[in-house]
Amino acid sequence: MKKIIKFILVFIFLLSLTACAYREPNARFTVTAIGFSANGTKVTAYLQAMDFSKSEDKTFLVTGEGDSVKASVKDVNKTLSKEPSFEHCSLILLSRGIDGTGLKDALNLCQELSMSQKTRVAYADSVKSALENNTLKNGDEIASLIKENSKTFGFGKHTALFEIKTAVLVNDGNFALVNLDASNSKIKFDGLLEYKNCKAVKSLNFEESRQYAKEQLK
């Protein structure tokens, strides 16, 4: 009898913990994409999220600025009426000025925000244009664009958060990100951008990108 009572008490305790952790979907903003750009010492964070309490126009974009990637995200949070949830974030966009220590800080922050290690990392000249394009509504759809085109063209597959972090740690910061062209209010897969020592060094066309991908498999 004592064992049964003990089991019931443990079960009730665990159930109460689950209840405390659970939040209604409408109580949070669901982040689908996050991006960073920098101009000198000023970093801009872009957060694309969905508000499921609305029946229309669920997706929105907010920005913040600071002297670091972490400070810029904190600045974004000042404008939000609900807590952002990053667990379902599908896309991390890096742009001009995010390199070296800033790039490492961005990747580490994304991990601290409890994003999936499989979240796609990509580059866009303009994060704002990429996330406000007229063809794909949110980060999930842009991540799908990268996935499908990677299959078609044979490059851009190994760009998950854990793969880029691994390249930073054990490959001297040498890797390549999918380069997204967001001009003319559209967004498209546009080759790779090669990084060395965590700094962007060269845009690769489709043939160069395929060759780069083949070289990485050797």
pLDDT of residue 153: 96
Q: β-pairing, 188-196 with 42-50? A: unpaired
pLDDT in tens, 176-196: 999 999 988 889 999 999 999
Q: What is the mean pLDDT of residues 86-112?
A: 96
Tell which residue, 93, 105, 103, has the closest CA to residue 201.
Answer: 103
Most confident of 3-7, 50-54, 129-133: 129-133
φ, ψ for residue 156 (rounded to 5)? 95, 10
Q: Report the C-alpha gap between 20 and 13 in whole angstroms.
A: 11
Provide the pLDDT confidence category of residue 99 given band limits of 50, 70 and 90: very high
DSSP 154-180: S---S-BHHHHHHHHHHSTT-EEEEEE
Q: What is the mean pLDDT of residues 44-68?
A: 90
Residues in contact with 198: Cβ distance below 8 Å, sequence separation at least 6, in sequence order: 99, 100, 101, 103, 104, 168, 173
Tell which residue, 34, 105, 107, has the closest CA to residue 76.
Answer: 34
How high is the mean pLDDT of the chain?
Answer: 88
Q: Report the C-alpha gap between 107 and 168 in whole angstroms.
A: 10
pLDDT in tens, 127-174: 999 999 988 989 999 999 999 999 999 999 999 999 999 999 999 999
pLDDT of residue 212: 96
Please tell me the pTM assigned to this model: 0.86
pLDDT of residue 183: 87
